A and B are shown apart, each in its own frame.
Chain A
Amino acid sequence: MSAAPMVVAHDVHKYYGAYHALKGISMEVAAGEVMCIVGPSGSGKSTFLRCINQLERTDSGAIWLGGELCGYRRKGDELRELSDSDIARQRLSSGMVFQRFNLFGHMTALQNIMEGPVVVQKRKRAEVRDEAEALLQRVGLAGKAGAYPGELSGGQQQRVAIARALAMRPKLMLFDEPTSALDPELVGEVLSVMKDLAVSGMTMIVVTHELGFAREVSNRVVFMDQGQVLECGTPAEVLTHPQHARTREFIAAILS
């Protein structure tokens, strides 16, 4: 693993009104590492992921992404809030895949993938098109370039969404329960695309309930509960020999 971590979270807190959603999350993710975050719903794992991508603001603490502080610019002893366009630029280093896919409904699969590179990164349309077609092939949907999201199954939509995120050439991929909204028989096709991505060396943070995937693919597993990290370690440490009673309960409940 390289020296500087790709992601550093330091004592991240998040409140929704009086509700303390994240109670001091600290972790590091190295480049090329695949980290799975598991835990019961309401444990703050999705919130934390959304903080990394600045879809949510943190209330205190810091998140560093590729050596850059998220959301602020340091000037002497001050932290100055970044403008919308600076935040948009920071988001380019990470790709996000959502539970509900969120494909753009008025665009075909190919247009969905090309939108970011063409409109945001201002890359040449012809070049982007070739790359987008290659990405569709990579996620096993070469024949679906002209299909609208409404004409695709959930698993196909999620694979297009992964291709859309990859088209931005991110350094880090964030997955927010990517298979939770899928019919059970469609989960496998999405997980296999994610597995290929992990093997190719992409840095990934995956919020998931798929313990099998976590065990097989991830380098580290984090267990979160009530806004805190309870355990962090190799899949064997956390999933096979959990230290906390809460972790054991959760794993038993999922496997039963």
Chain B
Amino acid sequence: MTFPASSSSLPASPFAVDHLKIVPRRFYGRWLSAALILLVFAFIINAFVHGQIEWKIVAQFMTAKVIMHGLLNTILMTIYAMTIGILLGVIFAVMVMSPNPMLRAIAGFYIWFFRGTPLLLQMLLWFNLALVFPMMGIPGVFEARTVDLITPFIASLLGLGIGQGAYTAEVVRGGILSVDNGQTEAAKAIGMTRLTALRRIILPQSMRVIIPPIGNEVISMVKLTSVASVIQFSEILHNAQTIYFANARVIELLIVATVWYLAVVTVFSIGQHFLEKAFARNQRSTNRPRVARVNAAVVAAVAIPPAPDGVKS
């Protein structure tokens, strides 16, 4: 019995379809919806162009010195508060997972308190600390009036950073739990203590799970800084308000703030994209992390990169 060497020598079959022409699907619905959306957009844009908005004023204040100053403060506050938040988050995540019941209780209380109260309230509490403690410091070494120490900047930093730490702690905890327990056992088997294993083995491998939600929180933080306008911290929204209290161009200045928030968030989003790619590249492991008891949203946010060609698992 012989087999035909290639399909070309196959006898004509009623099941063969290769000689027929393939017609791609036509997406009439997409074209229609796109047209509709464009129409709606055109209508909205037209409304704004002819609405009671002085676009010249928007342009004029876009790069005003006070606005630029506010923009800088917004960006700096985001960076400072996130730095504090991530540091506290890692420390408290490690504490909450410690075998020491005292450390667990302290960390548990911290997360419970700062996740359980509104950010605005926390900021007001920090800002008004002078009502409770008129003086602060170490007696005999250094003392100062609390009103001088707790400036709007410091109160905002404490409120945003410490509050953020409580959320980041949960993200870091999820990341630590996502690393297979076998990694900890292998680290112990080569004589590592719990903390060395965490630092050298577990935390580096949990980064892939931790980075995407942290990126998300950086973006939240950009916008959360606006809450600090309430306690007179001169970030961008506060400065825009200061201007419109004087010139009554409310919408124009709110548009200025909107544009700048979108610009900053866009830049951070691009940064996040590259950071995630970099971490996905460094983690070429198929030591599939066991995803146990991890926040489902956290897991969903992490796309596991496809294994490179030729990888055996």
Which residues of A line the B interface, CB within 8 A? Answer: 53, 55, 84-85, 88-89, 91-92, 95-96, 98, 100, 102-106, 115-116, 119-121, 148-154, 161, 164-165, 168
Contacts and interface: CB of A to CB of B under 8 A. Distances in A.
Interface string B282-313: 11111100000000000000000001101111
Nearest to B195: A84
Contact of A149 (B194, B196, B204, B287): B287
B284 A150 contact: yes
Interface of B: 180, 182-183, 185-194, 196, 200-201, 204-205, 282-287, 307-308, 310-313
Nearest to A113: B190
A96 B285 contact: no
B312 A153 contact: yes
B287 A119 contact: no
Contacts of A119: 192, 196, 200
Contact of B186 (A88, A102, A152): A102
A165 B189 contact: yes
Contacts of A154: 312
B284 A148 contact: yes
A116 B190 contact: yes
Given A149-B286, A151-B311, A120 B191 contact: yes
B194 A84 contact: yes
10 contacts: A84-B193, A95-B189, A98-B189, A102-B183, A104-B183, A105-B283, A120-B192, A149-B285, A151-B310, A154-B312
Contacts of B191: 88-89, 91-92, 116, 120-121, 168
Nearest to A117: B190
Contacts of B185: 55, 96, 98, 102
Contacts of B192: 88, 116, 119-120
B47 to A, nearest CB: 54
A105 B196 contact: no
Given A150-B285, A150-B307, A55 B189 contact: yes
Contact of A120 (B186, B196, B312): B196
Nearest to B289: A105
Contacts of B205: 104-106
Contacts of B282: 106
Given A98-B186, A102-B183, 15 more contacts: A84-B194, A91-B188, A98-B189, A100-B182, A102-B180, A102-B182, A103-B287, A105-B286, A106-B205, A106-B283, A115-B190, A115-B200, A116-B190, A148-B285, A149-B285
A149 B113 CA distance: 42
A163 to B, nearest CB: 12
Nearest to A168: B190
A116 to B, nearest CB: 4
A200 B221 CA distance: 60
Contact of B189 (A84, A96, A106): A96
Contacts of B190: 91, 95, 115-116, 120, 164-165, 168
Contact of A88 (B193, B200, B283): B193
Contacts of B186: 96, 98, 102-104, 161, 164
Contacts of A105: 183, 205, 283, 285-287
A115 B284 CA distance: 18
Contacts of A95: 189-190
Nearest to A97: B189
Contacts of B194: 84
A155 to B, nearest CB: 10
A161 B282 CA distance: 21
